[in-house]
Amino acid sequence: MTNPHPNILNLVSIKNYLILTFKEEIDEAQKMYSQLYFDYNATTPCLKEVVDSMLPYFNQDFGNPSSSHHPYGWLAKSAVEDATLAIAQNLGVSPSNLVFTSGATESINMVLKGVARKMQSKGNHIITTKAEHKAVLDTCAFLEENGFEVTYLDVDSKGLISVEMLSEMLRPETILVSILYANNETGTIQPLDEISRLTHKNGSLLFSDTTQALGKVDLSKVFQLVDFACFSAHKVYGPKGIGLVFIKDNEDGNGLPSLIQGGGQQKNQRGGTLNTPLIVGFSKAIALANDNLKVEIERLETLRNKLEKGLLKIELAISNSTTPQRLPNTVHISFPYVDGANLLMALSRQIAVSNGSACNSASVEPSHVLTAMGVERSLAYASLRLSIGRYTTATDIEKAIEIITNEVAKQRESNILWERRAL
């Protein structure tokens, strides 16, 4: 038997030392971990029914769906086809409209870069907003470095674009308009009807990141308005690592050029072995989300309103989600005279919340969404996003209000500016 590398032994020793030294702290942290979960916009737990639906395709029906010469491949292919059809039926689209990806980020890259490649003979101008998800903004920055021009629309204090400004910015050479349907931080829903009318009147294509909206609002009308949309399973109680692109005109598989080459899967639009278990799980998750969508929306709205009302009772608290057209599960509030980083740290022992997108959590800058909305930097830093979901109860809401109210008060006690606010 080969002796372990000394560095490995050192790491093991260090780990054991830390466990023994901080045992009480670790035990306490484990007791508190995920006691209250208010970060459903970051990710959701994978439902047991979803996990159960996937399990056979890991170790029983494990074949490659592209293996056409034996039953293992046939069974896997059949499972993918059935899952795709079920997703299409639940979304009210055709199976030919759907291309599987690894998630929303890849889907966004596929659409933006794909349209840029396909339409570059028509023009090089793209329109988006300053409040988009970072995956859109970073991809647009990449396209700018490669000869494309991007116009970034302002949003108002509610996070809404001006359709008049969109109309003014559209040009003959505008090939794509990319507008986030439901904002992942504030929940603001954009007026897609008018955006679609203006975009298509100009002869341009429309892409909407609908990742946060799936399972929270009725999307049936959206597919009539856009040319492209994207989704991610882990936002709707499905597995991580699987997403979708909706492509309206894709009967022949020529709706978008492939971002990933190799193997010719999915009509040559996305190379690579199809992930049968995750596709099956995604299908199950969407079906479960659709089962009681209307009832769940009403339940979430009731809980959201209760949460928001309770938190706004905190002195000087300001809501950053004020438009009536918004997600039913999202609350975003700023607390003046509070250090947001310290508040998050203090709350983390009792409640899981965030101050913005999980995909941008490493940034020390305030939320670009709030900045785009004109929120002062000090208030942007002092903000919390709370997003509720399937397992949130009225009792959870009451506890969260109490915990946050008490912690904000504690934070302000040590802030000399709070004492001097009335002077």
**Whether 71 and 31 share a structural domain:** no
Same domain? For 268 and 321 the reply is no
28 — pLDDT class (breaks 50, 70, 90)? low
Residue ranges making up the domain that contains 97: 49-290
Identify whether 7 is part of a domain: no
Q: Are 368 and 138 in contact (CB under 8 A)?
A: no
Structural domain includes residue 134:
yes
3-class state of residue 191 by DSSP: coil
Question: How high is the pLDDT of residue 79?
Answer: 95
Among residues 359, 352, 303, 358, the alpha carbon closest in space to that of 331 is found at: 303
* Dihedral pair phi/psi, residue 146, rounded to 5°: -115, 30
Does position 10 have pLDDT exceeding 80, yes or no? no
| CB neighbours of residue 324 within 10 Å | 6
> Does one domain contain both 262 and 383?
no
**Cα–Cα distance for residue pair 280/84, rounded to 1 Å:** 8
Q: Is residue 19 part of a domain?
A: no
The pLDDT of residue 34 is above 80: no
Residues noted as catalytic: 359
| The pLDDT of residue 292 | 87
201 and 58 together in one domain: yes
pLDDT score at 388? 98
Regarding whether 105 and 32 lie in a shared domain, the answer is: no
Q: What is the pLDDT of residue 35?
A: 79
- 297 with 205, same domain: the answer is no
Q: Same structural domain for residues 299 and 285?
A: no
Among the three residues 268, 290, 312, which one is the final residue of a domain in this structure? Answer: 290
Q: Measured between alpha carbons, how far is residue 78 from residues 13, 66, 87, 228, 270 in Å?
A: 49, 11, 14, 26, 19
- C-alpha distances out from residue 226 to 159, 165, 182, 223, 416, Å: 20, 19, 14, 6, 51
pLDDT in tens, 345-356: 999 999 999 986
Beta bridge partners of 333: 319, 384
Residues 96, 216: one domain? yes
When mean pLDDT is compared across 64-68, 92-96, 130-134, the lowest value belongs to 64-68
- DSSP output for 282-306: HHHHHHHHHHTHHHHHHHHHHHHHH
Looking up residue 335, the CATH number of its domain turns out to be 3.90.1150.10
Does residue 15 lie within any of the structural domains? Answer: no
Q: How far apart are CA 365 and CA 253, in angstroms?
A: 41
Specify the higher pLDDT residue, 360 or 392.
Answer: 392
pLDDT, tens digit (0-9, with 9 covering 90-100), for 139-178? 999 999 999 999 999 999 999 999 999 999 999 999 999 9
Would the pLDDT of 29 be above 60?
no
Helix 394-413 with 340-347: angle, nearest 10 deg: 130
Q: What is the DSSP letter of 415?
A: -
Regarding whether 197 and 302 lie in a shared domain, the answer is no
Number of domains making up the chain = 2
Q: Transcribe 198-256 into DSSP letters.
A: HHHHTT-EEEEE-TTTTTTS--TTHHHH-SEEEEEGGGTTS-TT-EEEEESS-TTS-SS
Note whether 345 and 375 are same-domain residues: yes
Residue pLDDT, tens place only, 322-350: 999 999 999 999 999 998 889 999 999 99
Say what the pLDDT of residue 269 is: 87
CA 373 to chain centre: 19
Q: Is residue 312 part of a domain?
A: yes
Last residue of a domain, one of 250, 265, 290: 290
Contact present, 217 and 78 (Cβ < 8 Å): no
Whole-number average pLDDT of the chain: 91
Alpha-carbon distance of 317 to 383, in angstroms, equals 9
- Paired with 152 in beta bridges are 128
Q: Residue 81 is part of a domain; what is its CATH number?
A: 3.40.640.10
Q: Which of 290, 312, 339 is the last residue of a domain?
A: 290
Predicted confidence (pLDDT) at residue 389 exceeds the cutoff of 70: yes
pLDDT (tens digit per residue) in 229-264 = 999 999 999 999 999 999 999 988 888 988 888 888
Six token digits for residue 382: 């002092």
Query: Is 10 among the domain residues?
Result: no
Residues 260 and 403 grouped into a single domain: no
pTM of the model: 0.88
In a domain, 13, yes or no: no
Whether residues 276 and 315 share a domain: the answer is no
The residues near 50 (Cβ < 8 Å, ≥ 6 apart) are 237, 238, 239, 281, 284, 285, 288
pLDDT band at 298 (very low <50, low <70, confident <90, very high): very high
**Inside any domain, residue 21:** no
Higher pLDDT, residue 247 or 24? 247
